Chain A
Amino acid sequence: MTFEEFVASRLAALLRYATVVTWNPHLAEDVVQEVLVRAQPRWGRISRVEAPERYVQRMVVNEFLSWRRRAAARLLHLGDGIDVPEPDHAEQHADRDAMMRLIGGLPPRQRAVIALRFYEDMSVEEIADVLSCRTSTVRTHLSRAMDTLRAALPGTLITTKEAP
């Protein structure tokens, strides 16, 4: 698959994935743009790996998690609302809005882990491979993220329970 074919077929999915990882459409566009601009000169090598899309997804996560990118997002976009999820159907869904904000407020690595786990349906081992860390680290991030969400979960939304 050429770079152009990859962009033509996978860009929309990549942007959706990056939006879930970053929780910020503007930042997602920045991250994907940066990743693709960097990937293009190296596409000959990337295209030869077993799963080029997984490789690019890894680049997206790493770009997002890099301090520089997060600092840029935090510092350079002085406009309002850049990191705030968009309103979700006004007041009647305030609890879902609260959860949206809560996910957006998770530490970046935890947010990335839950994106890979639940949006991309990756196993803990696959996530560990993407993030270049140990599976125990992934489990810790996952557990902490879910604990945070569970603790703040509005009672009107859900009652948490473990499946058998």
Chain B
Amino acid sequence: MTTELETLVRELQEQRADAAPDPDRLRGALPALIARRRTTRTVVATVAAVLVLALAVPVTLSATGRRQAGPPAASPVPAATPGIPLRYGPTWVPDGYRERRRGLLVVDRETGSAVFRRWTDGPMLGQFQPSVRYLELEIVEMPARPGPTPDGVVDINGVAGTVFIGAAPNSTVVVTWQIDATHTARVQASPAISPDDILRVARSVRPDPAVFSPPVRQGRPGALPSGKYDMTADDPGHWSATLVVSDAAPLLTLKATVGPAFDVPEGGDPVRVRGATGRIVATAPPASNLKWTLTLVVTLPDGRPLTVESSVGGDPSAARESLVRAVDALVIDPAPDVSWAR
């Protein structure tokens, strides 16, 4: 089968291949990476074991002291939510910025997990506001690996850090440095924030005892499954929490949001879930080779909406029951710690 389309695809592939990374850089770094692999494996296995232990024992380090250590909670009602150490935080952010988001990315042992925190100069709940500027600190549970060629090298409290400036206009600036033996720190910010301020934020980062307790998670004991867990709060009374997991078999993806959600489809069929009556909507894909989306909406006992979207393969009607079971099994903290959003 030879078509003009194939010719075009070949041309574009060649064009894309021309953007391949510089082989000399990787060639030069390879011996050290190979030598470091054994050490890294040991370190990561240890960190992962600690993380598993921390999550298996529901001890919350909340400053309010309203939670106590105790036996593991029975799903789906959490007696306590595991606390994830955020490890570090900036001691300086520009005037007018407040912490409004924190979260956790659980990936795998090879890649490591990451916690992130975001400070903004305006509200984050509601529709995306391009005018709201942000600063984000990400702590990745892995030593820094060689990345793209940096646009500059900076000193972060005696450690050599790198600066990346995106190629596109108004790209964010990213400062990366090795903050301790097993963690890499990244600070990135809206283009409107000056590089001097971004560096000042990076240099102000210090150990922080704060913890993040994912308010929504899958009802499995022990370690959190791979996925993204985050919480956004404009103030302690206005928050939303989201869980995103792939491979929530037999569902392909699952995104659960407690609190305001947008672009929720209308209509659907009534469904009994989490002891209440909700509705479930099947949305056809825009093309036949894409996936159906199932959206389940229900009001929780505290009056907050729970919206769960799932991408499903094959017949969506066959996946409805799986989605209901998955939503029933979600662990949702009715009173998560939002004290940090002040």
Is the CB of A49 closer than 8 A to any CB of chain B? no
Is the CB of B105 closer than 8 A to any CB of chain A? yes
**Choice from A37, A75, A100, A151 contacting B16 with Cβ under 8 Å:** A100
Contact A15 B13 (CB under 8 A): no
Contact B171 A80 (CB under 8 A): yes
Contact B34 A40 (CB under 8 A): yes
Q: Give B contacts to A, CB under 8 Å.
A: 1-6, 8-10, 12-21, 23, 26-27, 29-30, 33-34, 37, 105, 107-108, 110-111, 114, 116, 136, 138, 140, 145-148, 164, 166-168, 171-172, 174, 186, 188, 226, 228, 246-247, 287, 289
Contact A72 B287 (CB under 8 A): no
Contact string against B for A residues 82-107, beta-carbon threshold 8 Å, 1 for contact and 0 otherwise: 00011110000000100110010001
On chain B, the residues within 8 Å of A153 by CB distance are 5
Contact A68 B111 (CB under 8 A): yes
- Residue among A20, A78, A115, A119 facing the most chain B CB atoms (10 A cut-off): A78
| A15-B26, A80-B171, A81-B168 known; A118 vs B13 contact (CB < 8 Å) | yes
Q: Which of A54-94 contact B (CB under 8 A)?
A: 67-69, 71-72, 75-76, 78-81, 85-88
On chain B, the residues within 8 Å of A40 by CB distance are 34
Is the CB of A51 closer than 8 A to any CB of chain B? no
| A26-B21, A78-B116, A79-B166 known; A7 vs B30 contact (CB < 8 Å) | yes
**Choice from A37, A71, A85, A119 contacting B34 with Cβ under 8 Å:** A37
B185 to chain A, nearest CB (A): 13
CB-nearest residue of chain A relative to B116? Answer: A78
Is the CB of A134 closer than 8 A to any CB of chain B? no
Interface size on A, as a range, is 35 or more
Contact string against B for A residues 28-46, beta-carbon threshold 8 Å, 1 for contact and 0 otherwise: 1110111011001000000
Contact B20 A161 (CB under 8 A): no
| A147-B289, A151-B287 known; A15 vs B5 contact (CB < 8 Å) | no
**Choice from B2, B14, B26, B166 contacting A29 with Cβ under 8 Å:** B26
A22 to chain B, nearest CB (A): 9
B55 to chain A, nearest CB (A): 18
CB-nearest residue of chain B relative to A79? Answer: B174
On chain B, the residues within 8 Å of A16 by CB distance are 17-18, 20
CA distance A37 to B1 in the complex (A): 38
CA distance A107 to B8 in the complex (A): 19
Listed by A's residue number, 16 A-B pairs whose Cβ atoms lie within 8 Å are: A11-B23, A19-B16, A30-B145, A37-B30, A67-B247, A72-B111, A75-B107, A75-B228, A78-B186, A80-B166, A81-B166, A86-B19, A100-B15, A114-B9, A119-B17, A146-B6
Contact string against B for A residues 118-157, beta-carbon threshold 8 Å, 1 for contact and 0 otherwise: 1100000000000000000000000010111111010001
CA distance A75 to B105 in the complex (A): 7
Contact A25 B21 (CB under 8 A): yes
Contact B27 A8 (CB under 8 A): yes
CA distance A145 to B145 in the complex (A): 33
On chain A, the residues within 8 Å of B13 by CB distance are 20, 103, 114-115, 118-119
- Residue among A23, A33, A87, A96 facing the most chain B CB atoms (10 A cut-off): A33
Is the CB of A1 closer than 8 A to any CB of chain B? no
Contact B3 A162 (CB under 8 A): yes
On chain A, the residues within 8 Å of B5 by CB distance are 146, 149-150, 153, 158, 160
On chain A, the residues within 8 Å of B16 by CB distance are 19-20, 23, 85, 100, 103
Contact B1 A118 (CB under 8 A): no
Contact A148 B287 (CB under 8 A): yes
CA distance A58 to B21 in the complex (A): 19
On chain A, the residues within 8 Å of B289 by CB distance are 107, 144, 147-148
Contact A28 B21 (CB under 8 A): yes
List the 10 shortest-distance A-B pairs measured between CB atoms, nearest first.
Answer: A16-B17, A163-B2, A19-B20, A29-B21, A72-B111, A12-B23, A144-B289, A15-B20, A11-B23, A16-B20
On chain A, the residues within 8 Å of B228 by CB distance are 75
